[in-house]
């Protein structure tokens, strides 16, 4: 149900129609996980491609040794070219291809439930996707080479090596030093990564719980309805939709105490549904008249 998200990750975008749409920025953890999944997939595809080509090369007759004739060597050359191009494409086009799709997400991002989007009200353009992925090279591959090299060399590494490693570490750590968790590519492309949640629509409560029976049993006075606000209403909605027995009992107990009624023994659910519907009708009527009550503390 309603997942709690820190206010620091909430962003609002105004659509061209003038309606504010809330977005939740993806966590850095989710993005890192997506990246690891993607890299794993890329490496797997690379290995499979390489093995397939080697297998094809075997079939052509690589073991022939000195007896390789011209046509065979040409065929081998063609395989090497295919391999070089496949490696280049896997390294540079994987992210591009998937992020240009309607989901705006690579397989890794899809699995972690995130996608890319344009910052602000602009539409996501092909150029933006290209830009954000071209920069990936210096953010990821170069630092890995440099930092890996610095560690492999151990204490022998000279100052320049460490300086290079530190310089590239800046790019890797860039997302940790800004509010929107942008990486360098996001800055250049004007994009960010947001959560892409999909959910099912629950039943309308006033239909799934026909009020006729409840109405007769419980009718609340405006004074009894005035003690709570929208926040409590939505908490009550969550409890009703979850429908767990003990929680229902507790909430029914709390409400009946607050409004000074006896505990609705064996009719907790009916009591709560009736209270929910009447409270919602009460508050929505207030809304239509321009009076909103955020929570029970509001005047």
Partner 1 sequence: MNEAASTLIGRLGSWFSPAASAEIAAAEDAALRSDRFRLEREGEWKRLEAIVNRIESGRLRRISDEDLLALPALYRTAVSSLAVARETSLDAETLAWLEGLTRRAWFIVYGPRAGLGDWLLRFFGGGWGASVRALGTDILIALALMVTGTIAGWLLVASDPDWYYALMPGGVGDARVPGASRAVLMGTLFGQQDQQGLSVFAAFLFSNNAQVAILAFALGFAFGLPSAMLLIQNTTMVGALVWLYHGQGLTLEIIGWLAVHGTTELYAILLAGAAGLHIGRAMAFPGEAAVLDAAAAAGRRSAQVMVGVVLMLIVAGLLEAFARQMVNNTAGRLIVGGFMLVLWTGYFFVWRGNAREIG
Cβ-Cβ contacts under 8 Å for 133 (sequence gap 6 or more):
92, 95, 96, 99, 185
**DSSP letter assigned to residue 14:** E
Residues 201-240, one symbol each (x = binds partner 1 by CB under 8 A, - = not), give xx-xxxx--xx------------------x--xx--xx--
Rule CB under 8 A: is residue 53 a binding residue for partner 1?
Answer: no
Position among 81, 144, 254, 294 found at the interface with partner 1 (CB under 8 A) = 81
Q: Which is nearer to partner 1, 50 or 73 (CB)?
A: 73
Minimal distance in Å, beta carbon 21 to partner 1? 6
- For the CB of residue 155, give the shortest distance to partner 1 in the complex, in Å: 26
Candidates 40-48, 50-58, 81-89, 156-164: pick the segment binding partner 1 (CB under 8 A): 81-89
Total number of residues binding partner 1 (CB under 8 A)? Answer: 78
Distance of alpha carbon 121 from alpha carbon 286, whole angstroms: 33
Task: Please give the structure tokens belonging to residue 100.
Answer: 């240009």
Contacting partner 1 within 262-281 (CB under 8 A) = 277, 280-281
Contact 150, 165 (CB under 8 A): yes
Rounded CA separation 287/299 (Å): 14
For partner 1, which residue of 10, 21, 47, 219 counts as binding (CB under 8 A)?
A: 21
Residue 134 interacts with partner 1 (CB under 8 A)?
Answer: yes
Residues 134 and 216 sit within 8 Å (Cβ to Cβ): no
Q: Considering the rule CB under 8 A, would residue 67 count as an interface residue with partner 1?
A: no
Query: Near partner 1 by CB under 8 A, which window of 26-34, 48-56, 86-94, 255-263?
Result: 86-94
Give the Cβ contact number of residue 272 at 10 Å: 23
Query: Is residue 51 close enough to count as binding partner 1 by CB under 8 A?
Result: no
CB 135, CB 184: distance < 8 Å: yes
Which CB sits closer to partner 1, 134 or 263? 134
Q: Where are the beta strands (DSSP E) in 88-129?
A: 114-118
Kindly state the smallest distance separating residue 13's Cβ from partner 1, in Å. 8
Map the footprint of partner 1 across residues 95-114, applying CB under 8 A.
Answer: 97, 100-104
- Which range, of 43-51, 156-164, 253-261, 283-291, touches partner 1 by CB under 8 A? 283-291
Measured from the CB atom, the residue of 65 and 154 that comes closer to partner 1 is: 65
List own/partner pairs for 147-151 with CB under 8 A and 24 or more apart. Answer: none
Residue 125 vs residues 15, 18, 131, 141, 229: alpha-carbon distances, Å: 16, 21, 10, 25, 43
What pairs with residue 195 in β-bridges? 114
């Amino acid at each position: 149900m309603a997942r709690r998200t820190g206010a620091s990750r909430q962003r609002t975008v105004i659509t061209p129609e003038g309606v504010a749409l809330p977005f939740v920025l993806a966590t850095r953890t989710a993005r890192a996980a997506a990246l690891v999944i993607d890299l794993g997939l890329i490496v797997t595809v690379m290995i499979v491609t390489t093995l397939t080509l080697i297998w094809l090369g075997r079939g052509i007759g690589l073991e022939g040794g000195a007896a390789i004739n011209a046509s065979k060597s040409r065929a081998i050359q063609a395989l090497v070219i295919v391999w070089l191009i496949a490696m280049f494409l896997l390294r540079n086009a994987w992210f591009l291809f998937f992020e240009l799709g309607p989901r705006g997400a690579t397989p890794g991002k899809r699995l972690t439930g995130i996608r890319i989007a344009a910052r602000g009200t602009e539409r996501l353009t092909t150029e933006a996707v290209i830009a954000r992925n071209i920069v990936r090279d210096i953010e990821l591959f170069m630092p890995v080479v440099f930092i890996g090299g610095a560690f492999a060399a151990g204490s022998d590494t000279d100052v320049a090596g460490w300086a290079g490693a530190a310089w590239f570490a800046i790019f890797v750590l860039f997302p940790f030093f800004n509010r929107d968790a942008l990486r360098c590519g996001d800055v250049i492309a004007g994009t960010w990564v947001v959560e892409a949640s999909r959910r099912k629509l629950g039943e309308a409560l006033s239909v799934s719980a026909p009020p006729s029976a409840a109405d007769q049993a419980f009718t609340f006075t405006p004074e009894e309805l005035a003690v709570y606000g929208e926040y409590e209403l939505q908490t009550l909605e969550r409890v009703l939709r979850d429908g767990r027995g003990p929680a229902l009992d507790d909430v029914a107990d709390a409400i009946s105490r607050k409004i000074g009624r006896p505990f609705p023994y064996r009719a907790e659910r009916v009591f709560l549904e009736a209270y929910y519907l009447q409270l919602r009708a009460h508050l929505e009527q207030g809304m239509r008249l321009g009076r909103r009550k955020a929570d029970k503390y509001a005047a």
